[in-house]
Amino acid sequence: MPNVTDDAMRVREIELRRVRLPLVRPFRTALGTDHERDALIVRIATDDGEGWAECVAPREPAYSPEWVGGAQAAIREFLGPLLLERPVDSGTVAARLARVKGHPMAKAALETAVLDAELRATATSLAHRLGAVRTSVECGVAVGIADSVAELLDEIDGYVTAGYRRVKLKIRPGWDVEPVAAFRKRFGDVPLQVDANGAYTLADATALGALDEFGLLLIEQPLAEDDLAAHAGLARLIETPICLDESITSARVARRAIEAGACSVICIKPGRVGGYLEAVRVHDVCREHDVAAWCGGMLETGLGRAANLALAALPGFTLPGDLSASARYFTRDLTAPFVLVDGHLPVPSAPGIGIAPEPDALRDLTTSIEVLVKP
Ligand code: NPG
């Protein structure tokens, strides 16, 4: 295990706080329907100051094996004690936590909190630390499955009018060609991509090939996450570029997927790969192979969004991300709201992740608090 550097800091306390934010409209996907965001917010207290992070684990283990209650338990039982044990710095958090298998979203939250504390103490922004080259990023919007195509088009109309630079439609068998064709008819060549969350099989190749004529930017995770070979097979059968999300759990897997011909685009989510530092390594693999990348979203509050904006400002993020304004998700965000300006959101430039929860919002939205200290 790598040695901690002179910059190592002692984590005195880990606060695990659950917050509940109703969504402005239900978000329906092939995985289920979300009505609210039940998020785990991590705050660490160190000798050098505090650090904040949002754990992206969703309410149910439907996207991946992780869920918010499980992430909290993993931190309480195993990951938290490892972090509290002795001083640590951001570059060694992942190695410290590696003896616990899995739980990338829980690990990512702890690493981000350490990064935030470290960067605040040295007045450095996360964007600078990660290698950002932009001060604002182009935004896309993800649109859930609707009750009817007419309702879907109405919802999208609001987003296109608001200035989003690309739209992502959630699809599943029976809700694919029809909404895509209707979108093209109504919105012309507005950049469009679709996300299946693994709902198809290779036997659906003909149905997926029917999307070829619509000039989509990409189809995200059409098949099962553990089947790179099937994605490589599908890539030979359809023209729409294949993007992987759930399948990409590390930089090593990203390299393998690209080399296997399983994808030509990658959606990078820090929580899915265990943190922002590994997310940068996935980004580097994409650049090395000339593979397009974009930053995914998991209905984060402003806290998680701030950090995602820093990541999306790296040069290899060549497509708009699932990075939307606070108002697309919540009537009241946990932080000062992110507001879309000309289809872009600003990359936070203040130290650390560049934002902290608003005290009143934090108080009003909290449903429970648990504090871990060194035994
Ligand atoms: O804008 O944050 C956003 C939502 C983007 O569609 C989105 N996320 O499958 O990528 C996904 C999906 C998701 C949301 C997955 C929540 C898991 C939890």
Instruction: Catalytic residue, from 168, 185, 269, 374: name it.
Output: 269
CA of 298 to the centre of ligand 1 (A): 4
Confirm whether pTM is higher than 0.85: yes
pLDDT tens, residue by residue, 149-195: 999 999 999 999 999 999 999 999 999 999 999 999 999 999 999 99
**Is 185 a residue of the active site?**
no
Given a cut of 70, is residue 1 above it in pLDDT?
A: no
**Is 101 a residue of the active site?**
no
**CA–CA separation, 99 and 127 (whole Å):** 29
pLDDT tens, residue by residue, 273-288: 999 999 999 999 999 9
Given a cut of 60, is residue 121 above it in pLDDT?
A: yes
pLDDT tens, residue by residue, 208-232: 999 999 999 999 999 999 999 999 9
Nearest CA to ligand 1 atom 13: 298
Phi-psi region of 215 (alpha: psi -120 to 50; beta: other; left: phi over 0): left
- Distance in Å from the first CA to the final CA of the chain: 23
CA of 66 to the centre of ligand 1 (A): 14
CA of 58 to the centre of ligand 1 (A): 9
Amino acid (1-letter code) at residue 222: P
Bridging pattern class, strands 166-170 and 192-195: parallel
Round the average pLDDT of the chain to a whole number and report it. Answer: 97
Query: Which one of 168, 299, 345 would you pick to mutate in the ligand 1 pocket, going by the greatest count of ligand atoms within 8 A of its CB?
Result: 299
Nearest CA to ligand 1 atom 9: 197
